[in-house]
Amino acid sequence: METFARLDEESGFHLLLTTSKEIVDRMKTFKVRDDDVWVITYPKSGTTWMQEIVSAVCADGDLETINKTSLTERVPFIDCVFPFDKRPPYIDLEEMTSRRLIKTHFPHQLIPPGVLKQTPKVIYVARNPKDVIVSCFYFFNGFISEPKLKWDEFFQLFIKDEVPYGSWFNHNLYWWNRRHEAHVLFVTYEDMKKDLSNIVHQVSEFLGHVLNEETVARIVDHCSFSSMKKNPKVNKSEDVMLDSADSSGKNIQFMRKGIVGEWKTHFTVAQCEQLDKLYKKRLQGTDLTLDVFF
Ligand code: PPS
């Protein structure tokens, strides 16, 4: 059966097919700079959304300038080489002038070691794993042709950590445990939905860009789901070739639903119980609970 993931034998992680062994190896020596900003997430947790916020904040709200280049160029995704990339993004990043903004989904075990030290800024976005599974289901299915994975098949792969980047629990827990460190900002997708203005304020303070209320309001409007959905520089209509359909048979777009709680229309009662049980087991003894997302 066609797949969207490969097992990296050395690390034991499932990764995207576009993450070669060479990239994984290069991460071990990739030079991290003190003034880098790393947007780190488990897939489908609000990465693109945060990338655009960070980019707008670092440009002090100069939306006209950032709108001239694609988000992928402004905040390269270090993990992969896609067919539309002229060369590996890590090479672009090596040559980029500071301040670099970088996106990664790598779990801490595969991240360039310099990121785990105190110096660069890390913004971690977490999303309720149930909504993550739904979003991943549509997204990853878009990379394979018929027969597509059925919802239950995908759910089981997720539960077994056999999806790109492996365990949601381990990924999130690592940065959750470091969330009080001065160089780490930990936010949730759900808080972004609740009060985006507050998040833009937090990001601007964290990155040392003092913005007035009017600028924050413009960034909030620019980063709303409806604005981003129609913005070709961020909505990936030019990059991502998705070939998937939702329950009504419509093609899936990268900017798909952008809501909280969609899992309720996908999970069976048994799946919900299975995930809750697993959640309790994996996060036992930690203070990360599902309440974080509600
Ligand atoms: S990726 O491919 O892992 O980088 O995807 P990622 O950007 O992390 O997550 C994609 C989901 O985020 C939603 N999204 C947004 N929601 C609300 N507001 C804004 N502005 C926004 N931008 C992106 C996007 O729709 C995906 O979620 P789902 O649930 O699939 O709609």
Query: What's the confidence (pLDDT) of residue 3?
Result: 84
Please give the number of the atom of ligand 1 that sits closest to the Cα of 105.
3
Range with lowest mean pLDDT among 116-125, 138-147, 191-200 = 138-147
Give nearest CA residue, ligand 1 atom 14: 258
Residue 184: strand pairing partners = 122
Q: What is the pLDDT of residues 200-213, one digit of tens each?
A: 999 999 999 999 99
The larger pLDDT score, comparing residue 290 to residue 178, is at 178
Residues 43, 139: contact at Cβ < 8 Å?
Answer: yes
Verify whether ligand 1 is closer than 6 Å to residue 72 (CB atom): no
Return phi, psi of residue 6, to 5°. -130, 150
* pLDDT over 70 at 118, yes or no: yes
Query: What's the confidence (pLDDT) of residue 246?
Result: 67
CATH class of 5-293: alpha beta
Angular region, 208: left φ>0, alpha ψ -120 to 50, beta rest = left
Q: What is the pLDDT of residues 137-154, one digit of tens each?
A: 999 988 888 888 999 999
Residue with tokens 């048979």: 249
Show the beta-strand stretches assigned E in 162-234.
184-188
Q: CA 149, CA 147: separation in Å to the nearest integer? A: 7
Greatest extent of the chain over all pairs of C-alpha atoms, in Å: 53
Verify whether ligand 1 is closer than 6 Å to residue 121 (CB atom): no
Verify whether ligand 1 is closer than 6 Å to residue 225 (CB atom): yes
Q: CA 230, CA 179: separation in Å to the nearest integer? A: 33
pLDDT range class, residue 245, cuts 50, 70, 90: low
pLDDT range class, residue 241, cuts 50, 70, 90: low
Please give the number of the atom of ligand 1 that sits closest to the Cα of 131.
29
Measure CA 261 to chain center: 18
Q: What is the pLDDT of residues 81-95, one digit of tens each?
A: 988 888 999 999 999
Query: What's the confidence (pLDDT) of residue 291?
Result: 83
Three-state DSSP state, 187: strand
Whether the bond into 112 is cis, omega within 30 of 0? no
Q: How far is the CA of 170 from the centre of ligand 1 (A)?
A: 21
pLDDT range class, residue 240, cuts 50, 70, 90: low
Verify whether ligand 1 is closer than 6 Å to residue 257 (CB atom): yes
Mean pLDDT of 17-42: 96
Q: Which of 4, 18, 44 to mutate to test the pocket of ligand 1 (most atoms within 8 A of CB)?
A: 44
Query: What's the confidence (pLDDT) of residue 146?
Result: 81
* pLDDT over 90 at 2, yes or no: no
37 half-sphere exposure, CB direction, 13 A CA radius: 23
The average confidence (pLDDT) of the chain is 93
Give nearest CA residue, ligand 1 atom 5: 44
Residues 220, 57: contact at Cβ < 8 Å?
Answer: no
The whole-model pTM stands at 0.96
Q: What is the pLDDT of residues 170-190, one digit of tens each?
A: 999 999 999 999 999 999 999
Q: Which of 53, 135, 140 to mutate to test the pocket of ligand 1 (most atoms within 8 A of CB)?
A: 135
Measure CA 201 to chain center: 20
Query: What's the confidence (pLDDT) of residue 74?
Result: 97
Q: CA 150, CA 137: separation in Å to the nearest integer? A: 9
**Distance linking the first and last C-alpha atoms of the chain:** 37
Three-state DSSP state, 122: strand
Domain ranges of the chain: 5-293
Q: Which of 19, 49, 236 to mutate to test the pocket of ligand 1 (most atoms within 8 A of CB)?
A: 49
Q: How far is the CA of 135 from the centre of ligand 1 (A)?
A: 8
Verify whether ligand 1 is closer than 6 Å to residue 142 (CB atom): no
Q: CA 265, CA 103: separation in Å to the nearest integer? A: 30
Verify whether ligand 1 is closer than 6 Å to residue 256 (CB atom): yes
Q: What is the pLDDT of residues 58-70, one digit of tens each?
A: 999 999 999 999 9
Residue positions annotated with a catalytic role: 105
* pLDDT over 90 at 129, yes or no: yes
**Residue 239: which of 15, 71, 49 has the closest Cα?**
71
Give nearest CA residue, ligand 1 atom 1: 44
